[in-house]
Amino acid sequence: MVRYRRNFVPGGTFFFTVTLDDRRSSVLVDHVDKLRHAFRVAREERPFTIDAIVALPDHLHIIMTLPNNDADLSGRWRRIKSSFTHQLAISGVPISRNRRGEFALWQRRFWEHTIRDETDFERCANYIHYNPVKHGLVASPIDWPHSSLHRYVREGLLPLDWGGSGEIVGSFGERED
């Protein structure tokens, strides 16, 4: 069995992919208000900065920066996932359970990548913002409402027409072989 080793870097900046167990679900965008609340709860308890984010129907991508004295990635994700799941359950959204009786909303793990430098950060942020187009959800990145691209445009970091529309040009964060 391969043992996955996390890179615990206090104050580090990380790119994450977090996925629902049911890849056909749309619960993240159907209940995006509850997802935002779960992030607020986790940030109040264990601060972190959201540098870029996109919520898609069945998964999300985020660039997160931790405080200088803290490297607890898993604790934050445990809190976000737990809070979101709890809010869904108390609002009556049906959630399946696994054989141990636990809610089976999320995949058990998450994927993370330590951001190495500004070029790596930009590559990951571009990947995040272009992801709704990659998945065929919209023709232009700005058309997806659940993305930090809107903040980047408001702050003048990217133009309104960033990513264009229609044909995909460029790798937008994916490795080219």
Residue 128: per-residue pLDDT:
97
Worst-scoring range by mean pLDDT, 38-42, 75-79, 101-105?
A: 101-105
Q: Model confidence at 3, in pLDDT bands (50, 70, 90)?
A: low
Greatest extent of the chain over all pairs of C-alpha atoms, in Å? 49
Whether 127 and 174 have beta carbons less than 8 Å apart is answered as yes
> What single-letter DSSP state applies at residue 164?
-
Determine the structural domain holding residue 69 and report its residue range: 13-154
Give the separation between CA 56 and CA 137, rounded to whole angstroms: 9
pTM given for the model: 0.86
DSSP state of 24: T
For the chain, the domain total comes to 1
Q: How far apart are CA 92 and CA 162, in angstroms?
A: 39
- Pseudo-torsion of CA 30, 26, 74, 91, nearest 10°? 40
Q: Does residue 92 lie within any of the structural domains?
A: yes
Would residue 169 count as lying in a domain? Answer: no
Angle between helix 73-90 and helix 32-45 axes, rounded to 10 deg: 140
Q: Would you give the DSSP letter of residue 160?
A: T
Domain-located, residue 61: yes
First-to-last CA distance in the chain?
A: 28
What CATH number has the domain bearing residue 110? 3.30.70.1290
Say if 163 falls within a structural domain. no
